[in-house]
Amino acid sequence: MKRRDFLGLTAAAATSLTLAPTRGFAEGAGSGPEMTALCDYMSAAKTRALPAEVAEQAKHHILDTLASMISGSELPPGQAAQRYIRANAAQGSATIAGTAFTASPVEAALANGVMAHADETDDSHSPSRSHPGSSTVPAALALGEHLGIDGAHFLRAVTLGYDVGTRVVMAMGGADFSYESVLSTHSISGTFCASAAAACVAGFDARRMRWVLDYAAQQSSGFIVWRRDVDHIEKGFVFAGMPARNGVTSALLVRADWNGVDDVFSGPDNYFLAYAPKAATAKLVEKLGERYEIAGTDIKKWTVGSPIQGPLDAIYAIRSKQAFEAEQVKRVIVRLAPSVAEVVDNRDIPDICLQHMVAVMLLDKTASFHAAHDKPRMQDAAVLKERAKVNLVRDEELAKLLPVRVAIVEIELADGNRLSERVTAVRGTPRNPMTREEVIDKARDLIAPVVGRDKSEQLVKSVYEIETVTDIRSLRPLIQRT
């Protein structure tokens, strides 16, 4: 080809590109009714009053998550988060719980999220198979401190986060989706929870809410390889640190006047086509304003993995009816649904190892936070002796009852006596809720050893009077170590 011919072809191509119709970045193929209803609801959440009973539940979950963050600061994932902050983050407007550090909202959300899920202390939402508090509260707190919002605004932002992120996963199929997919529902729900909460903190209108959800969808990631994590560090990142960071990032991008796709949930190449083609999108807005997901989220009585809650409740109930000592026990049979049992079967981490925690419960007659995190005790001869008595049975009949996690515990004593308990509503679940005092007692046990008893009491008081807090930054001295 001659040089003249080549230049002519190049010019023609350039002309055709110039004359081609342009498409604006934010132009979409229309918007579905679910997105319209969802974003209208989200944009009004900042000023929408909450029913009194929902506000009470929200305070329980805020306190429980702050306690998880503070106690988590002393666990290996919390220490890892602090190493990251020391090495990479400059001082900023947001608090790092349990430390004297501050950082940018994005970095603080990441660190506090990892701390909140540094173990199995934080709350959990069974229908979406997620831990909403550990991503939602760190995101709302980090951006809330940055913008100086008041306590009522913070309370409503957190409540909205629970409503949005959990519904995304429920629309994808909820528990069934989680069992059939290698994707992590924990990180998916968490990213949308944190993004919705941060967007509410920022006070966006409905159009900007659409763009926040778009950037949340683009950051949606995580898969269940976290089950191989033996130190809970990657798990803390996947479940909470990454989603909290993603949520604050989504809000800050839109706050910096970034636009995006108007409806990432419908139209060509949408989010659900990529992740869950059979999604029931109507569930995105099902009973919004009637069914508050924060009131449907479990608070753990025991600071262990969710599948272990029922068995510990059962042993506690059996012992309350007939006292016995560990040495009197010949055998313990624990029955769980197979998919539930898999999560906690002979794990390397004490608080997610069913056999170990049952052994601890037999010996201690309770399961304290300290006991659930004493990894060296997993090699203690007395514990190993009791652990050898524990048999975990994967019961297919219990699988039919999911997502309700039923646990059956049978204890055979050396004298031949057999004791049993069936737990269908774990303490701390919506069907068997903890009282305010129980939530506070748990929080005190987690907070006081790190920041002191006085600060612990002040923080409890501030959370339950959150509507009177004029600037959320006033909580900083109560959640930081001096």
Q: Which residues of 7-21 are buried (b: 16+ CB within 10 A; e: fewer)?
A: eeeeeeeeeeeeeee
* Residue reference for tokens 């170590």: 481
**Residue 431, SS3 per DSSP:** coil
Average pLDDT for runs of 10 along the chain of length 482: 44 39 39 94 98 98 98 96 96 97 98 96 94 98 98 98 98 94 97 99 98 98 91 95 98 98 96 96 97 97 92 97 97 97 94 96 94 94 98 97 92 97 95 96 94 97 98 98 83
Q: What is the pLDDT of residue 31?
A: 76
**Residue 450, SS3 per DSSP:** helix
390-394 vs 329-336, strand pairing mode: parallel
Q: Write the DSSP string, 140-184.
A: HHHHHHHHT--HHHHHHHHHHHHHHHHHHHHHHTHHHHHHH-SB-
Q: What is the pLDDT of residue 306?
A: 87
User: Was domain 306-423 assigned CATH 1.20.1440.230?
Assistant: no
For 32, 167, 172, 264, 270, the CA distances from 282, given in Å and listed in that order, are 10, 10, 10, 14, 15
**For the chain, how are helix, strand and coil distributed in percent, rounded to 5?**
60, 10, 30
Right CATH for 33-300 from 3.20.20.70, 3.40.190.10, 3.40.50.800, 1.10.4100.10: 1.10.4100.10
Domains 33-300 and 306-423 equal at CATH topology level: no
Under a CB-based contact definition with an 8 Å cutoff, are residues 126 and 305 in contact?
no
Beta bridge pairs of residue 102: 95
Q: What is the pLDDT of residue 295?
A: 98
**What pTM was computed for the model?**
0.86
Q: What is the pLDDT of residue 30?
A: 55
What type of residue is 121?
Answer: T
* Residue reference for tokens 């419908």: 266
The span from the CA of 306 to the CA of 185, in Å, is 15
Q: Which residues of 44-73 are buried (b: 16+ CB within 10 A; e: fewer)?
A: ebbeeebeeebbebbbbbbbbbbbbbbbbb
Q: What is the DSSP letter of 407?
A: E
Nearest CA to 306 among 284, 339, 275, 330?
Answer: 339
Tokens for 464, please give them: 């339950």
The ranges assigned to domains in the chain are: 33-300, 306-423
Q: What is the pLDDT of residue 202?
A: 98
The span from the CA of 201 to the CA of 76, in Å, is 30
Q: What is the pLDDT of residue 27?
A: 38
**Residue 95, SS3 per DSSP:** strand
Q: What is the pLDDT of residue 28?
A: 39
Q: What is the DSSP letter of 51?
A: P
